[in-house]
Each structure stands twice: as C-alpha cells, then as structure tokens.
C-alpha cells in the first residue's frame, strides 16, 4: 500500500507539473519530513486527500460487514456507526444510516452510550452531535 501511495502521489502531481526528487517525495508521503516549498506543500496536500479517500473506502467496506451482522443489538449498531465515523454525527445522520431503527431506539442507544462514556454529546437541541470518546 505504501508503494501505491507514493506512485499515485508522484503521478498525480506530475500531471499538475509539480516535481521533486524521488527521495523527497517518499519522505513527504511517509510523513518523515516537512514541506519546504510550494511544490512539496502540494504533494503533502495530495497525501492528505489520498489518506482521506482510503479511510473513507475502508469505512464504506466496513459498513457492508455491519449490514451482514444481523445479530448486532441496536446499541451495538449505533455505537459501531459512531466509532467508524470520520465526522461528528447527529441523530438524523444515525437514523439515515440505520433506517431499520426507530427514532426512540436511536435516542435510547445514544443516551446509554453517553451514560456509559463511550461517546460524547456535543451541543444541544437540533445541533447536537455525537463522537466516539476515543476521537477526542
């Protein structure tokens, strides 16, 4: 995977006319060195975007595994979604991702997870969001 990231970063940046030495490219992609100039900042930016894409792909793949696990409780399903999320989620987001769960079921699961300190509640009212405490 590391080689593919380096090759992808190099190819994409060359298309944009951004060049650096192979050694510097490898150092930047592997986060072993800070960017020294604009070209290297572009390379680092691509590295970050590529990392987000890979994380989102893995998350997407895991969601299919979740759907196959019919034996999960509603509490486990809600926690699993929050745990794997790249962003803070609101109640409506969770209901969209778990259409088989009622609003009351989602609310009970969220309250229990907050009480158990597995997730953190951020904000209040309609703008309330939830995040796994491990991400804080």
Task: Report pLDDT digits (tens) over 82-128.
Answer: 998 889 999 999 999 888 899 999 999 999 999 999 999 999 999 99
Q: Which of 6-20, 64-78, 110-124: highest mean pLDDT? A: 110-124
Q: Is domain 74-135 classified as CATH 3.30.230.10?
A: no
Helices H / strands E in the chain, number of each? 6, 2
Q: Are 25 and 43 in contact (CB under 8 A)?
A: yes
Reply yes or no on whether the pLDDT at 64 is more than 70: no
Residue 12 predicted with pLDDT over 70: yes
Copy the structure tokens of residue 47.
């590295």
pLDDT band of residue 13 (cuts 50, 70, 90) is: confident
- Check: CB of residue 80 under 8 Å from CB of residue 66: yes
Q: Which of 8-17, 53-62, 82-91, 97-106 has the lowest mean pLDDT?
A: 53-62
Q: Is the pLDDT confidence value at 63 over 70?
A: no
In which residue ranges of the chain is CATH 1.10.10.10 found? 74-135
Tokens of 28: 């930047």
Compute the C-alpha angle 107/108/113, nearest 5°: 100
Q: Which residue has the tokens 């609310």?
A: 107
Q: Report the chain's mean pLDDT, rounded to a whole number.
A: 88
């Amino acid at each position: 995977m590391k080689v593919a990231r380096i090759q992808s970063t190099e190819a994409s940046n060359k298309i944009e006319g951004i060049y650096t030495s192979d050694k510097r490219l490898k150092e930047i992609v592997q986060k072993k060195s800070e960017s020294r100039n604009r070209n290297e900042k572009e390379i680092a930016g691509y590295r970050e975007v590529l990392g987000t894409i890979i994380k989102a792909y893995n998350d997407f793949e895991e969601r299919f595994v979740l759907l196959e696990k019919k034996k999960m409780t509603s509490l486990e399903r809600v926690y699993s979604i929050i745990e794997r999320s790249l962003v803070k989620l609101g109640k409506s987001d969770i209901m969209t991702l778990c259409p088989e769960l009622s609003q009351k079921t989602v609310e009970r699961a969220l309250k229990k997870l907050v009480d158990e300190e597995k997730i953190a509640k951020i904000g209040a009212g309609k703008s309330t969001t939830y995040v796994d405490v491990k991400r804080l």
